[in-house]
Structure 1
Amino acid sequence: MKSRLIFVLAITAYIIPSFAFNNYLWGEISGNDYILAKDKVSKAFFVGLVQTKKYVFKQKDNLNALTITAIKITDKKEKNGATAELLSGGPGSKGATILFQSKRGYGINDVVEIWGR
């Protein structure tokens, strides 16, 4: 019985991450927030290479710029999606820089939504 439980847990630990999406939410979206930007971030795969792409959100008018309250990233790949790292800015600031990195041999296909007020 104990070995069967360990076997089921090992299989589950192997299978679940392969179907996991790399979705992210930094901050909180409330009813008063506006969508400041919605962009698709993509980069084609190349055999044997890790793909990276930097996404920069910058508002044109710094004096009237809105404050970011949330950043939502939706992974459009069913498996082997890219990871995202918030390098600078984000919730509480006026801009943001996000670095996307794929797994080796895979591409990037994400949607970034920037919310603010």
Structure 2
Amino acid sequence: MASYKLVFILAIAGAVTLVLNVSPSSGFGLFKSKKVSGDFILGSRLSGDRLILQKTIYRTGKSFKSISLRASFNASKNVRITQVAAYDQKRNGKAASVKLVKGGPGKQNCTLKFKSRRGYGIHFIVRVYGR
């Protein structure tokens, strides 16, 4: 009978030790809300590319409604876009989505469509690089 008690106590102590030493990446992190970034990067930069345009896109949220807007960016005459980067400033897991509608790398213009989640706003910094 004493050996059963000893095995039971050791099993409980082992289980408690395992639970206390579990890292968040091994399973318990699944229960936490994940911080989703809505960053959008299209194209690549090379040496010689320069920032040709930077703009902040900001709209406040409306209750129970999603917000959708389009923003166009034009480069000057002899400049071709090499990278379009839209960086999400709301890193709270409620990121808006970004899609390329027209133009982009290799062109002189691009149009991006931003769409927020219902009840949330849009806050992005858009940087356009070219050469």
Structure showing greater radius of gyration is: 2
Which residue of the partner structure matches residue 33 of structure 1? Answer: 49
Residue 114 of structure 2 corresponds to residue 103 of structure 1:
no
Structure 2-normalised TM-score?
Answer: 0.74
Give secondary structure in 1 for the equivalent of 2:32.
helix
Gap regions ≥5 residues in structure 1: none
Q: Which runs of 4+ in 1 moved over 2 A?
A: 11-17
Gap regions ≥5 residues in structure 2: 1-18, 20-25
AA at the equivalent of 1:101: K
Aligned length: 108
Deviation of 1:78 (Å): 1.7
Structure 1-normalised TM-score?
Answer: 0.82
Identity of aligned residues (%): 23
Give the superposed CA RMSD.
Answer: 2.0
Deviation of 1:13 (Å): 4.5
Q: 1:94 to 1:46 in 2, by over 3 A?
A: same
Pairing partner for 2:90 from 77, 82, 89: 77
Residue 63 of structure 2 corresponds to residue 15 of structure 1:
no
Q: Which string of whole-angstrom CA distances, capped at 9 and with x for unpartnered residues, describes residues 17-43 of structure 1?
A: 3x1211111000122101110000011
Which is bigger in relative contact order (C-alpha 8 A, separation at least 6)?
1
